[in-house]
Amino acid sequence: MRTDSSPGTLPAREHLPAGDAGTPVLDVVIPVYNEEKDLQPCVLRLHDHLKRTFPYAFRITIADNASTDTTPQVSRRLEAELPEVTSFRLEQKGRGRALRTVWSASDAPVLAYMDVDLSTDLNALLPLVAPLISGHSDLAIGSRLARSSRVVRGPKREFISRAYNLILRGSLQARFSDAQCGFKAVRRDVAQVLLPLVEDTGWFFDTEMLVLAERAGLRIHEVPVDWVDDPNSTVHIVKTATEDLKGVWRVGRALATGSLSLDRLARPFGDDPRDREIKDVPKGLARQLVGFCVVGALSTLFYLLLYSGFRLFTGSQIANALALLVSAIANTAANRRLTFGVRGRGGAVRHQAQGLVVFGIGLALTSGSLAALNAASSDPAHSTELAVLVAANLAATVLRFLLFRAWVFPEQRDTDSMVVTSHHPSSPTYSTQQPPRNDGRLPRRTPQYTYDAAQFRAGAAADGTWRDATMQLQPVRPHDTDSKDSR
């Protein structure tokens, strides 16, 4: 799992301008491997549909995953015949690798992909990308499992699809309904910061991207689709399912350990009411108070259960100290992650040490309260002890929140820098001669396509500024050229 720092804070979502004719707003990628028979009918049908129905300029990009038949020749012929069609070739297999390479190099503000068999009805394409163009959503997916979807496929694939999505819901708490439908789109500014975190280069690429986007708080729009199964599909179900389960384990482990810096990907869009500043209230205070109260209530219940258990074997002071110590460690860990949004292992030991200092203050308050109670009554009732402890803990809780906010987890002023991920050589060049714009809007650009160069324009940065830098394309990871990758 990639652990690179996120390239930066995402800007507010805005409706994309229509732009000049010839400036692509949508780039539809068709990843192919040995599809010499289906490629031309697919591209011609898609091209005709977009010409008739799509109100913006578009581009169709054919991504050849190291085909060994005549697919490259078909791609070049289509590119020569249709001005809106481009193609390039990757020397390694992997649908995820192809999508990441093309999407990272594309200058279109909306990026999409679909399978070459066109199993999904193309009437869903405009509803798919419309929320991204309008600025309403960050990603969009076609769903075969929505209530209003109409799907024709065999029971075997139906069972596998539903079982896989149940696994995602149970293990990764995914809320989207269909991870593997080959019909998805993403805004380019979101892709720039999301793709560096996605490790998979094969069929699990979709799932990993969606899980990370959802965990980061991005908005995923689902479109019910009409879908007809392709009986000639070349996907190896067993092998793909095995790789997907390995991916689920890897992503789940990374999320559990907090090794992904998803917080920068999620904040702030500026158009989210949760990000709006409230007069005379420090930013984030309301959310932190709610989170702290929820964690505090659960911690108090946990503490009282521990105290009641320890009280069966020891005196009140020792039982109180042990219960408070255990609950304080759990409370610090929960507040670190849930209330103050600190992820990763960095500083965890220091935070726990500071939390123990806060625990000491709470211990002094509660122990002093018990001492005062024992001084007032030689044999107080157990219910009276609990009432005194609850009151003392309420006072300690207020002090604990103030210390957590001001000392243990102080607000950080991040100054994020833009990082553009590099990808495999032989990608197309998307360049522009237009001057930069610093108002956060997408500049109008006329792309020039060359396929014998190994460079591309980095384009508009995720923070709204223009980075006019030419990046040398490099392999995504050292093992991207693994010959054992059969997809």
Domain presence at residue 463: no
**Residues 262 and 315 placed together within one structural domain of the fold:** no
Any idea which of 87-96, 157-166, 283-292 has the lowest mean pLDDT?
Answer: 283-292
**Residues 224 and 246 placed together within one structural domain of the fold:** yes
Domain presence at residue 4: no
pLDDT at 371 (0 to 100): 85
**Residues 159 and 300 placed together within one structural domain of the fold:** no
Of residues 110 and 374, more confidence is placed in 110
Q: Which of 379, 407, 435 is the last residue of a domain?
A: 407
Domain presence at residue 128: yes
Domain presence at residue 149: yes
User: Quick one: tokens of 58?
Assistant: 């578009």
**Residues 222 and 371 placed together within one structural domain of the fold:** no
Q: Which residue has the tokens 């670190």?
A: 336
**Residues 128 and 85 placed together within one structural domain of the fold:** yes
**Is the predicted pLDDT of residue 319 greater than 80, yes or no?**
yes
Q: What is the mean pLDDT of residues 429-452?
A: 38
Of residues 481 and 459, more confidence is placed in 481
Please count the structural domains in the chain: 2
**Residues 320 and 340 placed together within one structural domain of the fold:** yes
374 is in which domain, residue-wise? Answer: 284-407
Confidence of residue 181 (pLDDT cuts 50, 70, 90): confident
**Residues 298 and 264 placed together within one structural domain of the fold:** no
pLDDT at 266 (0 to 100): 55
CATH code, 226: 3.90.550.10
Q: Which of 384, 407, 430 is the last residue of a domain?
A: 407
* Phi–psi pair at 79, nearest 5 degrees: -65, -40
pLDDT at 231 (0 to 100): 65
Cα Dmax for the chain: 96
Domain presence at residue 241: yes
Exposed, middle or buried, 302 (CB in 10 Å: 0-12/13-18/19+)?
A: middle
**Residues 33 and 124 placed together within one structural domain of the fold:** yes
Mean pLDDT score of the chain, rounded to an integer? 75
pLDDT at 436 (0 to 100): 40
**Residues 143 and 103 placed together within one structural domain of the fold:** yes
Domain presence at residue 468: no
- Distance, in Å, from the CA atom of 296 to the CA atom of 348, rounded to the nearest integer, reads 19
Kind of pairing between the strands at 110-114 and 26-32: parallel
Domain presence at residue 414: no
The helices-and-strands tally (H runs, E runs) of the chain is 13, 13
Q: What is the mean pLDDT of residues 319-325?
A: 84
**Residues 180 and 247 placed together within one structural domain of the fold:** yes
Q: Which of 275, 305, 323 is the last residue of a domain?
A: 275
**Residues 84 and 122 placed together within one structural domain of the fold:** yes
**Residues 184 and 289 placed together within one structural domain of the fold:** no
Domain presence at residue 121: yes
Treating both helix axes as pointing N-terminal to C-terminal, what angle do 237-257 and 155-172 enclose, rounded to 10 degrees? 10
pLDDT at 428 (0 to 100): 38
